[in-house]
Amino acid sequence: MAAPFNLQGRLLAAGKISKSFVNFQNVAPKSFRQCRTNVRLYSSRTENSRKFNIKIKPALRVTALVLGGSYALRQAISEWNRMKVYAGDQARPPHAPSRQVRVDTDHSGLKLTLYQYQTCPFCCKVRAVLDYHGFSYDVVEVNSVTKKELKWSEYKKVPILIAEVAGSKEEVALHDSTVVVSILESYLHDRSTSLQKLNSYYPCLTEKVGRKTKYDFPNKYFVMFQEKADLGSTAKERSEERKWRKWADDHMVHMLSPNAYRTMRESLQSFNYFSEVGEWEKNFSFFERMMVIYVGAAVMYVMGIILKYKYELKDDVRQSLYDACNEWVKAIGKNKQFMGGNQPNLADLAVYGVLNSIEGCAAFQDALKNSKIGPWYRRTKDMVASHQGANPLHSKTQPSETHIAQGKV
């Protein structure tokens, strides 16, 4: 076949450009013609309106001005309200907490409200950090079907943590479990930087994929701290901590669905467990609850199979779960209690949170029996339940006007 001699044809043949590029090139001149027509139309319209303008009566002008002005004002107010809603400000309606966690020794000065699903692994991660550090907080259980508790928020995922410095009346809505954890940790190390400021260090990139919005927070594994802050760990340890926090999100979490919903029977058992600990009886009507349990179990059984292939789990998905558990225990090493040494670090709490979400499922019991994770899991659970990380809340730098030379842990 003769080689095409136009440039487009050559590039296409050489694979340097795609067919869609060529298609775009082909429509471009048409759009350009359309564009020129539009310009002509526009200029004749402005010409007409100029003539009309000359004849317009003053009263008519005032009316137009008032109408136009009030329309603009209404638009501005609704835009302002929308922004307030997004910032999770006054527009967030009060929700009676489903549960309140109170820790006597909490001196953080923060009023926290967690919007969550009880057994969502990302929410469990956040609760692990809140409990370990001994924060008091309110929990608002979100109805996963109607999501009515999140109507005020543009971000429709859980967890969302609303944080308010006591007495300030200014609250900030923190999104994404990893960002929430990094912000809380940063705050514990330096209370001179406001939560709003800390939140601004984690910009959110959004991307529309079909009807869904994807969120990305490129900084999320970094804890922000002042240059001179003593974090009690080396840069290498912090890099290791980041690596395993990411592993918890990108690997361990993908073990959950194929294992918790491995068979229809297991899927139903898992959903009944979620219903029990999530107090669905309180949060759903009877029919909603039955629908979520039975339809949810069936849907998630199918999803479990899809996810098994997507994340390339072994034929026996349990084996992949055991492998992940053993990989984690191996990463901690024989001489350490936790990855963080004598105390759990954020990676310990992340892996713990993820596994904690399926604690009542058969998959978790099997993992305890057939992998080496048990002793570490129980140690971490004890540390979390007894708020062993609460001390930093008292010993942190007090709010001050000092420099902000934040770095990344």
Restricting to residues 110-129, which ones interact with ligand GSH according to CB under 6 A?
117, 120, 122
Cα 146 to Cα 70, 143, 288, 293, distances in angstroms: 35, 6, 10, 15
Which H or E run contains 99?
strand 99-101
**Residue 176 in contact with ligand GSH, rule: CB under 6 A:** yes
Site string for ligand GSH, 63-102 (x = CB under 6 A): ----------------------------------------
Nearer to ligand GSH, 122 or 338 (CB): 122
Task: Pick from 136, 143, 144, 397 the residue near ligand GSH by CB under 6 A.
Answer: 144
Q: Is residue 177 within the footprint of ligand GSH (CB under 6 A)?
A: yes
Which uninterrupted H or E stretch holds 112?
strand 110-116
Stretch that binds ligand GSH, among 151-159, 161-169, 317-325, 339-347 (CB under 6 A): 151-159
Answer for the pair 13, 3: CB distance below 8 angstroms, yes or no. yes
DSSP result, 352-407: HHHHHTTTTSHHHHHHHHHSS-HHHHHHHHHHHHTTTT-THHHHSPPP------EE
130, 139, 158, 174: residue in contact with ligand GSH (rule CB under 6 A): 158
Nearer to ligand GSH, 117 or 137 (CB): 117
Catalytic residue among 115, 120, 187, 338: 120
By CB under 6 A, tell whether 157 contacts ligand GSH. yes
What tokens were used for 289? 């609850």
> Smallest distance from the beta carbon of 286 to ligand GSH, in angstroms?
21
Give the span between the Cα atoms of 245 and 240, in whole angstroms. Answer: 9
Query: Which one, 186 or 226, has the nearer CB to ligand GSH?
Result: 186
Q: How far is the CB of 177 from ligand GSH (least distance, A)?
A: 4
Cis-peptide, bond into residue 93, ω within 30° of zero: no
Given candidates 118, 178, 269, 283, which one binds ligand GSH under the rule CB under 6 A? 178
271 part of the active site: no
Is 35 a residue of the active site?
A: no
Give residues 257-276 in contact with ligand GSH (rule: CB under 6 A): none
- CA–CA dist 162, 19 (Å, integer): 48
User: Residue with structure tokens 């007495």?
Assistant: 167
**Is 122 an active-site residue?**
yes
**147 vs 152: CA distance, rounded Å:** 10
Q: Rule CB under 6 A: which of 348-377 touch ligand GSH? A: none
Count the site residues for ligand GSH by CB under 6 A.
10
Q: How far apart are CA 333 and CA 331, in angstroms?
A: 5
Q: How far is the CB of 18 from ligand GSH (least distance, A)?
A: 32
Q: Where are the beta strands (DSSP E) in 137-252?
A: 137-141, 160-165, 171-175, 205-209, 212-216, 224-226
Enumerate binding residues for ligand GSH (CB under 6 A): 117, 120, 122, 144, 157-159, 176-178
Q: Which residues participate in catalysis according to the annotation?
A: 117, 120, 122-123
